[in-house]
Amino acid sequence: MRLIFFLLPLFLWGDAHIFLYHRFNDHRHLYTNTDIKVLIRQFEYLKTHGYKVVDSRVLLQKAKNGENVDKLVAFHIDDSFKSFYKYALPIFKKYHYPFTLFVYVEGTQKHFGDFMDWDQIREVAKYGDIQCHSYAHPHLTKLNNLEIIDDTMKALNILRGKAYKIDSYAYPYGEYNKRVKNILSPLFTYIYNQNEGAIDKNVDFKDVARIALTGDVKIANRLNIKNLNVENLQVIVKNNIITKVSGKVPYKKIEIYITKLGWKWVSTKNGYFSYTPNFKLKKFRNRVILRYNNSIKGVMITKEIKNK
C-alpha cells in the first residue's frame, strides 16, 4: 500500500504547454489572428483553474529536471506585430502574465507598417522577454548554409546591440529541417518550432513544441494535449516522397497524419511501427503528426531544395 502511494504522483503528473500567438484583433489575417475577447476568455480559464504562467525557460528547466509541470503554461508571441502592443499587451499586464516576444528584426529596423518600432519594443521589454525571430523572416530551408548564418547573425548583432540578452530563436513559419537545426543549434540555448505537442522531461531544448492559439480556440482542449514519446522516430523523405514513418511507442496501434493524405491507423508489433505511404509531397510545408488519444508528436517536413 505504501508503494502505491509513493508511485501515485508519478502517474498524476502531466505535461506543460507553450502557447503561441501572432496577431490580435487584426481580422485581415484570420489565419494568424486572435480576437482580444478570446484572449481574455483564455486567460480567465487559466486563472480560475489553477494554472501558473511562467517564463518558458523556467518551464523547460523544470520539465527537464523531472518536476511536476502539469499546471505550468508559457506564452510566446511571434513577429512583433503592432497589434500585440496595442491590444494584447494591456491584457498581459492586467493578468501579470510573463511572455516572450520573438522579433522579426527587419520589420522593425525598416519601419514596416504592421510592426512595432524599437521604442515600443523597449516598452514591451518591461513586461516580457525579447528574443530572436530572424532578420528577414526567410524560408530557412530554401537558403544555403551561409545565407542562414548571415541572416541570423545580422539579427543577433542588432538585438544584442540594443542590450537584449538573446538565447532563444523561433523558426520563421515554423519551417526547419535537420540541416537548419544543426546550423542554428550552436548559436542558441533554446530553439522553438510550431509543431503540435506538449512539454515533458524528454524535451529537446533545440526543438521545442509550441501550440498555436489562433481563431476561437478553447484553451481547455489544448491543455489536454500530452507529449507522445516516440523512440527512434524516423520520417524518411526521398525525392520529395515520404517513403517511411517508423518508430516505437507503448501502444498496439498509432494514428499518423500527413498533409494532403490524411489520417491512417497503423498497427504496432512489440511497440514498433512502420508506415510506408510512398506519398509525394503536395505542398512546400507539410506536417507529419503521430497521435494516440490526447498524446501528440508533430514533425515539420519541407520539400527538399537542391544545391542547399
- d(Cα 61, Cα 26) in Å, to the nearest integer? 34
Q: Is residue 1 pLDDT above 90, yes or no?
A: no
At residue 275, the pLDDT reads 98
Q: What is the pLDDT of residue 306?
A: 65
Q: Which domains does the chain have, with CATH numbers?
A: 9-225 (3.20.20.370), 231-302 (2.60.40.10)
40-43 — which CB contacts under 8 Å span 24+ positions? 40/91, 42/213, 42/217, 42/219, 43/91, 43/95, 43/97
233-249 mean pLDDT: 97
Q: What percent of the chain lies above the pLDDT cut of 90?
A: 91
How far apart CA 117 and CA 105 sit, in angstroms, is 10
pLDDT the model gives residue 227: 95
Summarised one tens digit per residue, pLDDT across range 173-192 is 999 999 999 999 999 999 99
C-alpha cell at 266: 497503423
Nearest to 184 by CA among 201, 206, 200: 206
pLDDT of residue 14: 75
pLDDT-based confidence at residue 304 (cuts at 50, 70, 90): confident
- The CA-CA-CA angle for residues 144, 147, 151, to 5°, reads 145
Backbone torsion region of residue 33, taken as left when φ is above 0, otherwise alpha when ψ lies between -120 and 50, otherwise beta: beta
The reported pLDDT for the residue numbered 307 is 55
Position 184 scores a pLDDT of 98
Q: 33 Cβ partners below 8 Å, 6+ apart?
A: 22, 23, 24, 25, 26, 27, 214, 215
Task: Return d(Cα 121, Cα 115) in angstroms, integer.
Answer: 10
Return the beta strands (E) in 104-230 as ranges. 129-132, 168-170, 190-192, 211-212, 226-227
Its pTM stands at 0.92
AA identity, residue 77? I
C-alpha–C-alpha distance, residues 202 and 273, integer Å: 20
Predicted confidence at residue 207, as pLDDT, reads 96
Helices (H), 14-140: 36-48, 56-64, 82-83, 89-95, 105-109, 118-124
pLDDT of residue 4: 39
Minimal CA–CA distance to 34: which of 234, 265, 219? 219
Residue type, 145: N
At residue 27, the pLDDT reads 87
What is the rounded CA–CA span in Å between residue 199 and residue 250?
18
Q: How far apart are CA 222 and CA 245, in angstroms?
A: 25
Q: What is the pLDDT of residue 31?
A: 87
Write the CA distances from 211 to 30, 73, 159, 195, integer angstroms. Answer: 17, 11, 26, 7
pLDDT digits (tens, 9 = 90+) for 3-47: 433 343 444 457 999 999 999 999 888 889 999 999 999 999 999
Mean pLDDT of the chain: 94
The model's pLDDT over 103-124, given as tens digits with 9 standing for 90+, comes to 999 999 999 999 999 999 999 9
Distance between terminal CA atoms of the chain?
60
288 backbone dihedrals φ, ψ, rounded to 5° = -115, 120
Torsional sign, CA 212, 216, 219, 223? negative
pLDDT at residue 3, as a whole number: 41
* Higher-scoring residue by pLDDT: 109, 1: 109
User: Of 88, 93, 105, whose CA–CA distance to 34 is shortest?
Assistant: 88
Cα Rg for the chain, rounded, in angstroms? 20
Question: 2 falls in which pLDDT band (50, 70, 90)?
Answer: very low
**What is the model's pLDDT at position 29?**
87
